[in-house]
Structure 1
Amino acid sequence: MKLSSRHRQPGFTLTEVLIVLAIIVALAAIAVPVGRSVMAKSRNAACLSNLRQIGTGLEAYLQDHAQTMPEIAAGRKGKNEDTPVLETELASYLSNPEAFHCPADHKCFEASGCSYLWNSSQSGRNRLKLVFFGKEGDDRRIPLVTDKEDWHPGESGVNFLYADLSASSKVEFGVNQ
């Protein structure tokens, strides 16, 4: 006696289910790294935007203070320290305090109030007389503000705000000979 196909239960066989699961796992294995890469690039772009905002605030500060860089420390360990730093001196020049928070930073901002470090060797200097490693600046490629840590993809892992107020993830220090 032959079984007819109409007695078969509707549904999927175990082989079909395993094939579908294998395809889903393969697609997820491809999508997760791509998604992480896209998110890392997005955080890097937002960080560069923050540095440009800080540059705009610094420009306003320089106009109010005879083109003299602020006299501030590189950073602070905790928000309760009474030390003049980037986020306290430029706060009144920026409309959004989140400009001091790099989206890739998940701990420094909470502790200190800023994800960035000030190049304190430039504190109190006239913007036209900046010195880096004992040499006068070339084409204003002197870093003023950097990420506190290497949070970003790329060779250096940090972003920079240079003296010409451009922001970049590229290490482009320049000095005259």
Structure 2
Amino acid sequence: MKTAFTLIELLVVIAIIAILSAILFPVFARAKQSAKSTSDLSNAKQVGTAVKMYLNDNDDQMPIFYAYNSIPPAGQPGHKGVEVLLAPYCKNTAVFKSPFDDGGPFTAIDVPGSTSYWNAYGSSYRFTSCMYTVVAGESTSNNVPLTSSHDVTDTEVEFPSETRIMRLEMYPFFDKSQDVGCAKYGYDCAPPYNYYQTWDSSGGPLIFADSHAKHISNSTQFDQSRVDPQGHMSGEATTNPSSFDGLWYGICD
């Protein structure tokens, strides 16, 4: 004859399920994050390859610099972005979207209704300005035409495997809890123009001039990446008055 579960037996089963859930859910969460990080790095590598292919077709000259142009926003006719120039060398422009990109306060202000940097500006990856060709009157940043020009060619980059041409827009070490007073990176202390938001808590990719990409996890790795053809490091001191923080980061990022 079948007997029903006693209350104690039922409680034991519930306790076992709770213990298994507590063990397995973090494992599943880490596996999901790891898969997204792998996809992020894969996208970055494809973008690096696209830049190299562009160089082969354009006498080694780096693409024209554009950044954060939202009039019109990405995907609309007339939008200006580096990703537009690189699109013929990619399977699709989705490679410019990080799986962690869920936008931030700044995108909501600049492009109401946008759900990501990719959706608003065309890329989750920020372009290192000193590594691109700037054409006065044509190059634009935040919809404003730039007034000076400079050419950058692949052949003049002294340390291609160490010089970044793009990076993930948001890193965990940009947070004000790590960048005290926002003195170095300046991302998280000035509402309503505050545009920092944590994406991947483990870090994110850098894309280099030789087309390879790698995942970085801390500010030391970021600061030691080079940011211009001459090989200045991001965290290297400078007396250039255009640097807001006294570092090459403030000039080229």
Asked if these proteins are the same fold (TM beyond 0.5), I'd say: yes
Residue segments in structure 1 that go unaligned for 5+ positions in a row: 1-5, 131-136
Instruction: Give identity over the alignment, percent.
Output: 27
1:119 aligns with 2:128: yes
CA contact (8 A) 2:160 2:208 kept: no
Tell which structure's C-alpha radius of gyration is larger: 1
TM value normalised by structure 2: 0.58
Matched, 1:94 2:90: yes
- List per-residue Cα deviations over 1:86-131 (Å, max 9, x = no partner): 221101111122111111112222322321111111112011223x
> Which residue in 2 is equivalent to 1:43?
36
Q: TM-score, length-normalised on structure 1?
A: 0.81
| Deviation of the 1:33 alpha carbon | 1.2
Whose relative contact order is higher, 1 or 2, with alpha carbons under 8 Å and at least 6 apart?
Answer: 1
* Separation (CA, whole Å) in 2 of partners of 1:139 and 1:90: 19
**Residue 206 of structure 2 aligns with which residue?**
160
- Name the Cα RMSD after superposition: 2.2
Aligned residues: 162
d(CA) in 2 for partners of 1:139 and 1:60? 15
Q: Given the alignment, which residue of 1, 15, 33 partners 1:22? A: 15
* Number of the residue aligned with 1:85: 81
Counterparts of 1:111 and 1:83, CA distance in 2: 10
Between the aligned partners of 1:84 and 1:72, the Cα distance in structure 2 is: 9
Unaligned runs of 5+ in 2: 103-115, 134-151, 172-198, 234-253
Q: 1:115 to 1:162 in 2, by over 3 A?
A: same
Counterpart Cα distance in 2 of 1:44 and 1:76: 27
Matched, 1:141 2:162: yes
Residue 164 of structure 2 aligns with an amino acid whose one-letter code is P
Match of 1:133 in 2: none
Question: Letter of the aligned partner of 2:207 in structure 1?
Answer: L
Report if aligned partners of 1:74, 1:119 keep a CA contact under 8 Å in 2.
no
Shift in Å at residue 76 of structure 1?
Answer: 3.1
225, 230, 236: which one aligns with 1:173: 225
